[in-house]
Amino acid sequence: DGGITQSPKYLFRKEGQNVTLSCEQNLNHDAMYWYRQDPGQGLRLIYYSQIVNDFQKGDIAEGYSVSREKKESFPLTVTSAQKNPTAFYLCASSIVDSNQPQHFGDGTRLSIL
């Protein structure tokens, strides 16, 4: 079955550490996205990529970095510069077409120790 796999489901980080969240898709989608979800707020776009080796900042990119070396993979690194990293992170993918739905992973919950 095609889909999006995020790992791990739960992640703990110590203060000052970088941590990388994995997102893999086998849907052959060109576009991939990272969102952050906080209680009481809508999802907010961190980064997106519409093609391999290219990505753009979303609305809240500060303190995050991404890479897109393969079509299937779009890892997100939460750096120590992100002052409030505790949140639920969702990865999504879609074909590059303005009216196609995005497919979401099951998310990674990141907490600071």
Give the residues lining the site for another protein (CB under 8 A): 31, 40-45, 48, 50, 58, 88, 90, 92, 98-107, 109
CB of 88 to another protein, least distance (A): 6
Residue among 51 and 81 whose Cβ is closer to another protein: 51
What are the CA-CA distances from residue 102 to residues 80, 96, 105, 110, 111 (Å)?
29, 10, 10, 22, 26
Residue among 36 and 72 whose Cβ is closer to another protein: 36
Omega before 8 cis (within 30°)?
Answer: yes
CB of 13 to another protein, least distance (A): 18
DSSP string, 55-89: EEE-TT-TTEEE--SBTTB--EEE-TT-S---EEE
CB of 67 to another protein, least distance (A): 19
Select from 5, 43, 48 the least CA-distant residue to 30.
48
Residue among 13 and 109 whose Cβ is closer to another protein: 109
CB of 16 to another protein, least distance (A): 27
Residue among 16 and 101 whose Cβ is closer to another protein: 101
